[in-house]
Amino acid sequence: MSLTRYMAVELGARRIRVNAIAPGAIATDFAGGVVRDNGDVNAYVAQGIALGRVGLPDDVGGAVVAILSDEMGWATGTTFDISGGQLL
């Protein structure tokens, strides 16, 4: 997060936006795919997420598209929590 802020300040004069994404638990092949492939682990992790489920790769991809859009052109130096409310 600190690097994101620092780079946003350094690159802002050149109109370069710098943001970061902090994803929560995502059903991928990370750690051997245990969250994706093991229903018990998936359910256990999901109980700690406000939206009640583990994230999918498209959840993060959609956020990336949104952050890169012109509608988010005023956002810089920000870390976006894309976790479905994990650990709230």
CATH assignment of the domain containing 24: 3.40.50.720
Residue 65 lies in a domain: yes
Distance CA 79, CA 12 (A): 16
What's the whole-model pTM score?
Answer: 0.86
Give mean pLDDT, residues 14-35.
96
Residue 87 lies in a domain: no
Quote the percentage of the chain above a pLDDT of 70.
Answer: 100
pLDDT category, 80, cuts 50, 70, 90? Answer: very high
Tokens of 61: 């991809």
pLDDT digits (tens, 9 = 90+) for 25-38: 999 999 999 999 99
* φ, ψ dihedrals at 13, nearest 5°: -60, -25
Distance CA 69, CA 63 (A): 10
Question: Is the Cα torsion angle 26, 29, 35, 40 positive or negative in sign?
Answer: positive
Residue 88 lies in a domain: no
Domain count, the chain: 1
pLDDT digits (tens, 9 = 90+) for 64-74: 999 999 999 99
Domain ranges, residue 41 = 2-82
pLDDT for the residue numbered 56: 97
